[in-house]
Amino acid sequence: MTPVTVIRSVLLALALTLTAQTALADRGIPWNSLNESEQSALRQYRGNWSSMDPAEQQKLHRGARKYLKLSPQQRQAVEKRHNQFEKMSPRERQQLREKYRKQKRDR
């Protein structure tokens, strides 16, 4: 194979991979395709899961999978922070989001 052929093959493979990923992101995740643990972690979204944006479903599914890999102590800490966040006023939540974005940007 010539270098040009190799480059073309790599570019074609990359394009096909990106196309497949885009197609998957555009599809929603059926609730009944989630395993029992994932459904339990996402139970608060069950009622409106089918009407959610597929990208949001993907994001929540990734988060649930990460959550399920945590130790019991780590899960407890996450739940505590979530409860604290839920008790915040909309203004406090927005301030926290902005602080998080700034910290993430500064890394």
The amino acid present at 86, given as its one-letter code, is E
Question: How would DSSP label each residue in 14-59?
Answer: HHHHHHHHHHHHHS---GGGS-HHHHHHTGGGGGGGGGS-HHHHHH
Instruction: Give pLDDT tens digits for 18-40.
Output: 555 555 556 899 999 999 999 99
Assess whether pLDDT exceeds 60 at residue 80: yes
pLDDT at 104: 86
Instruction: Give pLDDT tens digits for 49-77.
Output: 999 999 999 999 999 999 999 999 999 99
Full-prediction pTM beyond 0.75? no
In degrees and rounded to multiples of 5, residue 44 shows phi and psi of: -70, -15
In degrees and rounded to multiples of 5, residue 76 shows phi and psi of: -60, -40
